[in-house]
Amino acid sequence: MKEDIRIDVLIVGGGLIGGPLAVALASAGISVAVVDSENPNLAVDQAFDGRASAIALAPQRALAAIGLWPAIAPSAAAIEQIRVSDGHSPLFLHYDHQAIGDEPFGWIVENRAIRKAIRDRLAELPRVRIFAPARLTSLERQAGGVVAHLADGTRFSAALVVAADGRASPTREGAGIGVTKWAYDQTAIVCTVAHSRSHRNTAHEHFLPAGPFAILPLPGNRSSVVWTEKSHLAPAILKQDDDAFLAELSSRFGDFLGDIAIEGPRFSYPLSLQFANAYSAHRLVLVGDAAHGMHPVAGQGMNMGLRDVAALAEVLVDAKRLGLDLGHGSVLARYARWRRFDNLLMLGLTDALVRLFSNERPALRVARDFGLAAVNRAGPLKRFFMRHAMGLVGELPRLLKGQAL
Amino acid sequence: MASTTTPTTASPEEIARFQAMADAWWDAEGDFKPLHQLNPPRLAFLRDHLAEHFSRDATAPRPFEGLSLLDVGCGGGLLSEPMARLGFAVTAIDAGEKNIGVARLHAEQGGLDIDYRCATPETLDRQFDVVMTMEVIEHVPDADAFLSAVGDRLKPGGAFFGATLNRTPQSFALAIVGAEYILRWLPRGTHDWRKFVRPSEFAAALRRVGIAPKSFEGVRYAPLRERWERCASLEVNYAVYGVRAG
């Protein structure tokens, strides 16, 4: 008989969302086991995940409050200006962070830097056990608790299981929670670009006919490029040799940052929108991509996941300190109610943005260009959009306000 | 437990009424949803006063380790279980045999060690650091006799907690007309408004049995957030913390 592990919460998936959740819970006195199918030492390579994530102000405060930010900060570039433009139209939207305060809109961080910070922090915390690479061979959500096994016979008993295992979440599927989903017929091509001039901490979002083309500042003279392309064209672009690919990229990137060179591998991800039809079931909750997946146009995927983490951690820590059963329906309902509307709203907004801008009908182009210019001049409306993108709107969990749990 | 003994402080009609509902005790969306919703502010009141009373850190895991607690009228164990998770050695009694059966089964499934007994307070022979009787006094035929029996189980210097419904027009509107007739949160006839207890009456009854009332607090329903919250007003449902002289 292998080890019998009794914990409060079993987290399936220790990535960019499951990892911070484990850190938050364990730092607040909740015992946790994390089961992840990836090898944590390989997951921090650039070859594993070459993407960067936008982290808005409020989620950054949460990462700071749980002690992860100091390890991430050296790899993060602040976003101080955002320029949004539409094709070759002269009208554009310019956001300056000084319009609402001294703090930046957010930061761009390479995912591997976040993964490394999570791995190192989890290793320090006494209340967390990590099982990776490993897979659950059984998961039973019984009346009094959750019982799960690994292939080697290790047995977990917990009050609650959290599905943080991504868009295709096997845990969500296993529980029979369906998803509503549609594909965008767009593929994101992602790579890192080195350039000779400073990006001056400005993020650029350029709406091209095929979809948004984003240039996001990284530390030093480097930027992360998210190039949205029509799905049927993407394979041909990705197959090109380095020179041809660079030429294709340069025609979109422009020369405003001087000479450019591509650093590291290229990645591609098909884009879709999906949301789970429920956020909780008996002794189970969904967080991050397992609950919702969106287009990267507004850079909100990681942020919505971290907002889930902040809300769930608060709900569970409050319940723990009242002696409540962490898997009880009344506890899980509070989390689901808190997050579902906020996430659906963001999914709707990003979807509308993608549809509005990935469209070449002349009337629509004129309308949206004047819309951008109008928003640019309307101070209060612009400030509201800015505060929303920074994650400062709505009933905020303590972590998003930078407070301890 | 012998089924022929009739407990003296709970009337047979009351016991029968709650037994009919016992199976649904733990369903968050079932008949006892209002009690589950009422639990967080109730538990926060208990925990905060207990932490102060015994000088414990309420944010620590199992802050009340080493202390004993008696839950009188525990029902399905909705408060006994949290108290056990917070570290108390819990003895929980109820006059309804089916309640105790449900509570025992549930605690066992959750891996909790709670001493559940089908009993009334006067049949116990030991004393506890904490005695609580929540949402019970409005169901007993003789509140004074009941409180006297409950108070006897408390160690000198120990902490007493009680909770009940106030006898006000607001509580009639909410607990009887609202909860039983309009919202159907509770089966009709669950409560008899005339047996609700005013805070002044509760305080006087506690003083008669040597318990000094220290703090009263109410709860109110926040419909937009769909939850009960702590409040200063005692108009509808309230809890009291007291200390036994010694």
Cβ contact B110–A321 (<8 Å)? no
Q: What is the pLDDT of residues A352-389, one digit of tens each?
A: 777 766 666 666 666 666 666 666 666 666 666 666 66
Q: Which of the four pLDDT bands, split at 50, 70 and 90, describes residue B8?
A: very low
What is the reported pLDDT for A393?
60
CA distance linking residue A342 with residue A338, whole number of Å: 8
What residues of chain A, 332 to 371, have a C-beta less than 8 Å from chain B? 333-334, 337
Q: What are chain A's domains?
A: 4-75+108-180+274-358+376-401 (3.50.50.60)
Number of inter-chain CB pairs under 8 A, A vs B = 60
Q: Is B111 on the interface with A (CB under 8 A)?
A: yes
Cβ contact A145–B109 (<8 Å)? yes
A141 interaction partners in chain B (CB closer than 8 Å) = none
Residue of A388, A187, A205 whose CA lies nearest to A300: A388
What is the reported pLDDT for A123?
93
Q: What is the pLDDT of residues A273-296, one digit of tens each?
A: 899 999 999 999 999 999 998 888
Q: What integer is the mean pLDDT of B210-231?
A: 90
CB under 8 Å to B37, separation ≥6 — which residues?
A330, B226, B227, B228
What is the reported pLDDT for B80?
97
Q: What are chain B's domains?
A: 12-244 (3.40.50.150)
ipTM for the complex? 0.87
Of A29, A325, A333, the CB nearest to B110: A325
Gyration radius of chain A over CA positions: 21
Cβ contact B44–A322 (<8 Å)? yes
Res B1 pLDDT > 50: no
Side chain identity, residue B41: P
A145 interaction partners in chain B (CB closer than 8 Å) = 109-111
What is the reported pLDDT for B3?
38
CA distance linking residue A52 with residue A202, whole number of Å: 15
Side chain identity, residue B65: E
Q: How many CB atoms lie within 10 A of CB B145?
A: 14
Q: Is A140 on the interface with B (CB under 8 A)?
A: no
Q: Is A126 on the interface with B (CB under 8 A)?
A: no
What residues of chain B, 153 to 192, have a C-beta less than 8 Å from chain A? none
- CA-to-CA separations, A212 to A49, A227, A363, A385, in angstroms, rounded: 21, 7, 19, 18
A278 interaction partners in chain B (CB closer than 8 Å) = none
What is the reported pLDDT for B52?
97
Q: What integer is the mean pLDDT of A339-351?
A: 77
Three-state secondary structure of chain A: CCCEEECCEEEECCCCCHHHHHHHHHHCCCCEEEECCCCCCCCCCCCCCCCEEEEEHHHHHHHHHCCCHHHHHHHEEEECEEEEEECCCCCEEEEEHHHCCCCCCEEEEEHHHHHHHHHHHHHHCCCEEEECCCCEEEEEECCCCEEEEECCCCEEEECEEEECCCCCCHHHHHCCCCEEEEEEEEEEEEEEEEECCCCCCEEEEEEECCEEEEEEEECCCEEEEEEEEECCCHHHHHHCCHHHHHHHHHHHHCCCCCCEEEEEEEEEEEEEEEEECCCEECCEEECHHHCEECCHHHCCHHHHHHHHHHHHHHHHHHHHHCCCCCCCHHHHHHHHHHHHHHHHHHHHHHHHHHHHHCCCCHHHHHHHHHHHHHHHHCHHHHHHHHHHHCCCCCCCCHHHHCCCC
Q: What is the pLDDT of residues A21-57, one digit of tens each?
A: 999 999 999 999 999 999 888 878 877 788 899 999 8
B43 interaction partners in chain A (CB closer than 8 Å) = 322-324
Is B113 annotated to bind a ligand? Reply is no
Q: Is B224 on the interface with A (CB under 8 A)?
A: no
Q: Which of the four pLDDT bands, split at 50, 70 and 90, describes residue A75?
A: very high
Cβ contact A157–B111 (<8 Å)? yes
What is the reported pLDDT for B36?
87
What is the reported pLDDT for B245?
92
Is B94 annotated to bind a ligand? Reply is yes
Q: What is the pLDDT of residues B98-126, one digit of tens each?
A: 888 888 888 888 899 999 999 999 999 99
Res A110 pLDDT > 50: yes
Of A323, A325, A337, the CB nearest to B226: A337
What is the reported pLDDT for B18?
47
Is B208 annotated to bind a ligand? Reply is no
Is B42 annotated to bind a ligand? Reply is yes
Res B19 pLDDT > 90: no
Q: What is the pLDDT of residues B150-178, one digit of tens each?
A: 999 999 999 999 999 998 888 888 787 77
When the pLDDT of each residue in chain A is averaged and rounded to a whole number, the result is: 88
Residue of B41, B43, B30, B37 whose CA lies nearest to B80: B43
Q: Please give the structure tokens belonging to residue B123.
A: 């049949």
CA distance linking residue A227 with residue A268, whole number of Å: 9
CA distance linking residue B40 with residue B42, whole number of Å: 5
Q: Which of the four pLDDT bands, split at 50, 70 and 90, describes residue A119?
A: very high
The number of C-alpha atoms within 13 Å of A226 and in the hemisphere containing its C-beta is: 27
A330 CA: distance to closest CA in chain B (Å): 5
CA distance linking residue B10 with residue B144, whole number of Å: 13
Q: What integer is the mean pLDDT of B68-72?
A: 98
CA distance linking residue B166 with residue B202, whole number of Å: 10
Q: What is the pLDDT of residues A232-271, one digit of tens each?
A: 999 999 999 999 999 999 999 999 999 999 998 899 999 9
CA distance linking residue A104 with residue B161, whole number of Å: 50
Q: What is the pLDDT of residues A290-332, one digit of tens each?
A: 999 888 877 788 999 999 999 999 999 999 999 999 999 999 9
Of B29, B47, B85, the CB nearest to A329: B29
Residue of A272, A276, A271 whose CA lies nearest to A179: A276
Residue of A107, A120, A161, A151 whose CA lies nearest to A19: A120
Q: What is the pLDDT of residues A178-222, one digit of tens each?
A: 999 988 889 999 999 999 999 999 999 888 888 889 999 999 999
Q: Is A321 on the interface with B (CB under 8 A)?
A: yes
Cβ contact B43–A324 (<8 Å)? yes
Dihedral class, residue B210 (left if φ above 0, else alpha if ψ from -120 to 50, else beta): left
Give the N- to C-terminal CA distance of chain A in Å, as an integer: 37
Between A152 and B223, the higher pLDDT residue: A152
Cβ contact B58–A337 (<8 Å)? no
Cβ contact B28–A329 (<8 Å)? yes
Q: What is the pLDDT of residues A76-85, one digit of tens each?
A: 999 998 888 8
Cβ contact B60–A334 (<8 Å)? no
Share of chain B above pLDDT 70, in %: 91
Residue B112 near residue B85 (C-beta atoms within 8 A): yes
What residues of chain B, 14 to 43, have a C-beta less than 8 Å from chain A? 26-29, 33, 36-37, 39-40, 43
Q: Which of the four pLDDT bands, split at 50, 70 and 90, describes residue B5?
A: very low
Residue A160 near residue A153 (C-beta atoms within 8 A): no
